């Protein structure tokens, strides 16, 4: 069940990240008088979402332990000097433009902001380790963002709770409350909360005040802010603490000057929306994300905004310094359905296809990617990622240059191992066997099924040979492209074709809690003169 939740979360995050960016600023200004240059108003604007898109390497992400998942998927981190920061007035003006000439509505922006916050959290803090999330919502748009974030976190597999002491009676907010109540998300009063929030919650979302708030926080928010500060002090004392996530502006901070007296909230994560506000320069936590991918070129040009690119379909990007992570502390406690002997197919190829279909259904990127390991006559192993291009009763097929390093090693030792790893399913499949070239006819047929650019690229590249620089490859490609510009058939290189690994061993691995993983190995044996497979369990 948990693996299904994670699959859904992976696919949802891709969608969520798409919508994250333009949310907050607009929702406030639909209901509040426009700020004048003399008396700017602070409330909540479209947060400049700060997510880590590619942070999933050891983490995604995301990307896990101290944000490992989120840490490896991320793009290049942007320094404080290279990212633009907004003043309070600029943030307010951008909100007005978004909600005026650009046609954004408050609920659109709030939905995008809350989604970006939820996605940022999912990139760093996995529900298996940080399930209990308390969202403390203020009366304005920042609070609305928190309500939206709580709804999305519920669908991501977290257990959200909401503290919303000063509710707004407007339909947008009452509708959000109704949505949360329909999901049976508990609403807690201030009196329900312990003075030490870390006792009951793994994550606390600070959605009290945004960039349009000014003045000193009044009850009960002053007390709630103090509880978050107390939680941080627990960490300094070596005690268990909950993670604090602030939306756009840490509540109680000055929008431009930050934590003026040094006694305010010290969030672990800040999710800036649209663009970070000046106070974000004072943020010293490990996770700073930017969201608000809706910023159009006209606004970027007008305000001379320099913002990091969002990778792929992601709606958030990590900015600032990367977190310091103790590699030895990176670990994941896998939670998966049991993988039992009586459940597996007697034919390992059929079992592989079942798992491969699961990887396809989960929407994993390149589920046909496999690590190919070969060993030459010198006995030194080498590995690289290749793409599976066919599987049937005879084995696994891939294509390459017959003069590459792996091809030379296979000519010296025609045995290899391939390994598939499907992260969000907690699964691996290892296959060992002998390797032979496929027929010329099979290679020819596959070659001409490839995109024309890939065909020309195969002609241009003398794989594994030393070249003076990339310009040499590009020049060779350009000349070949011109040579075949008439659309004629691109000939398959004589030194290019496929290999087939004939399996002699399979191992199916399913991650389980406490490192008690399921490992089922298939080995060939004979029954009444017929080749069959026996299944045996290996200790993890």
Exposure string of 475-508, with b = 16+ CB inside 10 Å and e = fewer, is ebbeebbeeeeeeeebebbeebbbbbbebeebbb
For residue 215, say whether it is annotated as part of any ligand binding site: yes
| 3-class state of residue 117 by DSSP | helix
Answer yes or no: is 216 a known binding residue: yes
3-state secondary structure 29-94: HCCCCCCCCCCCCECCCCCECCECCCCCCCCCCCCCCCCHHHHHHCCCCCCCCCCCCECHHHHHHH
CB within 8 Å of 81: residues ≥ 6 apart: none
Is 142 known to sit in a ligand binding site? yes
141 is in an annotated binding site: yes
Contact 216, 209 (CB under 8 A): no
What burial letters (b/e) apply to 271-307, b meaning 16+ CB within 10 Å?
bbbbbbbbbbbbbebbbbbbbbbbbeeebeeebebeb
How deeply is 16 buried, as exposed, middle or buried, from its count of CB atoms within 10 A (0-12, 13-18, 19+)?
buried
Q: Write down the catalytic residue from 515, 519, 521, 531.
A: 515
- Is 144 assigned a ligand-binding role in the annotation? yes
Residue 294, annotated ligand binder? Answer: no
In the annotation, is 515 catalytic?
yes
> Does 213 carry a binding-site annotation?
yes
Residue 516 DSSP class: -
Tell me the two tokens of residue 273.
Answer: 């929306």
Q: How far apart are CA 224 and CA 137, in angstroms?
A: 10
CA atoms within 13 A on the CB side of 465: 11
User: DSSP 3-state assignment of 27?
Assistant: helix
Annotated binding residue 211: yes
205 vs 195: CA distance, rounded Å: 16
User: Residue 206, annotated ligand binder?
Assistant: yes
Cis peptide before 415 (omega within 30 of 0): no
How far, CA to CA in Å, does 194 sit from each of 29, 170, 251? Answer: 34, 30, 20
What are the two backbone dihedrals, phi and then psi, of residue 443, each rounded to the nearest 5 degrees? -65, -40
CA atoms within 13 A on the CB side of 386: 25
- Tell me if 205 sits within 8 A of 113, measured CB to CB: no
Binding residues: 141-145, 206, 210-216, 248, 251
Catalytic residues: 515
Binding residues for (6S)-NADPHX: 141-145, 210-216, 248
Binding residues for K(+): 142, 206, 251
């Amino acid at each position: 069940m948990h693996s299904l939740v994670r699959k859904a979360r992976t696919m949802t995050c891709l969608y969520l990240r798409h919508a994250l960016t333009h949310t907050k600023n607009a929702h406030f200004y639909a209901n509040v008088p426009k700020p004048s240059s003399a008396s700017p108003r602070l409330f909540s604007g479209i947060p400049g979402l700060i997510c880590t898109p590619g942070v999933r390497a050891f983490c995604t992400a995301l990307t896990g332990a101290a944000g490992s998942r989120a840490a490896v998927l991320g793009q290049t981190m942007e320094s404080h000097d290279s990212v633009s920061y907004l003043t309070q007035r600029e943030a307010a003006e951008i909100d007005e433009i978004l909600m005026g000439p650009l046609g954004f509505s408050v609920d659109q922006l709030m939905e995008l902001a809350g989604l970006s916050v939820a996605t940022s959290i999912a990139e760093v803090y996995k529900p298996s380790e940080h399930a209990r999330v308390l969202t403390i919502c203020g009366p304005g748009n920042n609070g609305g963002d928190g309500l939206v974030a709580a709804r999305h976190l519920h669908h991501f597999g977290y257990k959200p709770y909401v503290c919303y002491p000063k509710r707004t009676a407007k339909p947008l907010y009452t509708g959000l409350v109704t949505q949360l109540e329909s999901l049976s998300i508990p609403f807690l009063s201030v009196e329900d909360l312990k003075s030490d929030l870390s006792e009951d919650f793994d994550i606390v979302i600070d959605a009290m005040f945004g960039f349009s708030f000014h003045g000193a926080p009044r009850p009960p928010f002053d007390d709630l802010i103090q509880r978050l500060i107390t939680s941080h002090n627990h960490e300094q004392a070596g005690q268990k603490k909950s993670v604090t996530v602030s939306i756009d502006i840490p509540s109680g901070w000055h929008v431009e000057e930050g934590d003026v007296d040094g006694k305010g909230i010290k969030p672990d994560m800040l999710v800036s929306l649209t663009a970070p506000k000046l106070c974000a320069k004072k943020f010293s936590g490990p996770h700073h994300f930017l969201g608000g991918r809706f910023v159009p070129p006209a606004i970027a040009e007008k305000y001379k905004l320099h913002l990091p690119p969002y990778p792929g379909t992601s709606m958030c990007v990590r900015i600032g310094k990367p977190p310091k992570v103790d590699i030895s502390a990176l670990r994941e406690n896998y939670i998966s359905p049991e993988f039992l002997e009586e459940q597996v197919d007697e034919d390992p190829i059929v079992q592989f296809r079942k798992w491969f279909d699961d990887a396809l259904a989960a929407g994993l990127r390149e589920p046909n990617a496999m690590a190919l390991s070969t060993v030459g006559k010198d006995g030194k192993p080498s590995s690289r990622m290749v793409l599976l291009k066919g599987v049937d009763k005879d084995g696994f097929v891939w294509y390459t240059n017959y003069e590459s390093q792996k091809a030379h090693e296979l000519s010296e030792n025609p045995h290899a191992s391939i390994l598939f790893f499907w992260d969000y399913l907690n699964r691996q499949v290892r296959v060992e066997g002998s390797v032979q070239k496929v027929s010329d006819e099979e290679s020819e047929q596959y070659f001409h099924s490839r995109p024309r650019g890939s065909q020309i690229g195969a002609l241009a590249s003398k794989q594994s040979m030393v070249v003076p620089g990339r310009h040499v490859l590009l020049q060779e490609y350009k000349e070949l492209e011109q040579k075949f510009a008439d659309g004629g058939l691109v000939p398959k290189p004589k030194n290019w074709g496929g290999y087939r690994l004939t399996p002699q061993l399979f191992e199916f691995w399913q991650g389980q809690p406490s490192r008690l993983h399921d490992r089922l190995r298939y080995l060939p044996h004979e029954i009444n003169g017929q080749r069959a497979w026996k299944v045996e369990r290996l200790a993890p």
